[in-house]
Amino acid sequence: MFADLRPGEKPLDWNTRMKIASGAAQGLEYLHCGASPPIIYRDLKSSNILLGEGFNPKLSDFGFAKFGPSGDKSHVSTRVMGTHGYCAPEYLTSGKLTTKSDIFSFGVVLLELITGRKAFDDTLAVEERILVDWARPKFKDGKNVTNLVDPLLRGHFSKSGLQKAVEVVVMCIEENANSRPSVNDIVTALEYFNSHPYNSDEAKRDSAKEPGNSDSPKETTKTTNMDHERERAVAEAKMWGESWRGKKGSVG
């Protein structure tokens, strides 16, 4: 899915990136919930997400896929296989595979979409090569999560959408597998992006708030309404994240 841009090519815009994330999550939902027994993808990564017409994503290459646990079993024991930077930590250390292993990998893919960085890039400094390790310290600074965004977007992204997307990433890459959300809840959360697409008016509004700019009464009213909508969206993201933190320890 990701490749270095050729001269003259434009980067994927914010709405397209979130559309890809939502579609990939729906594909994973089918494997985990629609198949019987459930299927663990085991090698979810950006290069295995093919983009069709209209940037509609499709999961490909099921060579590493495994049937999930059945009966009273909680995991599948298997030889560790996957791609560096995407594999869940518990799978790497023990070979114990669950659907939550795929959730970790999905979190990495979503983080790639947000940052424009690769899951693993050996051309970078050692401390920046693994995307998850580079990003984790930045999650703690909630006021500056915009620093995570791909600079090629040049500020054209939804700030309220970013807050929620980062919240989803943080939950997906939890060290404790049981603390990660199920794919059903990820799909539900990502429906937010399709119902609240980025609008360039948001960027114009933020620019208008800079010192030296003044708004007419009409524009001020419009801005106030948009601010209320933005605040509501951010509140929804926080409530969604908090509700899932409260479910830590549950097995899915």
Has 43 been annotated as catalytic? Answer: yes
Say which of 4, 13, 43, 61 is annotated catalytic.
Answer: 43
Q: E strands along the chain, which residues?
A: 39-40, 49-51, 57-59, 66-67, 76-77, 96-97
- Cβ neighbours for 105, distance < 8 A, ≥ 6 positions apart: 41, 43, 44, 45, 82, 86, 87, 88
Using one digit for the tens of pLDDT, what is the confidence trace for 164-193?
Answer: 999 999 999 999 999 999 999 999 999 877
Range with the lowest mean pLDDT among 32-36, 51-55, 218-222? Answer: 218-222
The average confidence (pLDDT) of the chain is 79
Please, what are the domains in the chain?
A: 14-245 (1.10.510.10)
Using one digit for the tens of pLDDT, what is the confidence trace for 40-64?
Answer: 888 899 999 999 888 889 998 876 6
Question: What pLDDT was estimated at residue 216?
Answer: 45
Question: What pLDDT was estimated at residue 206?
Answer: 52
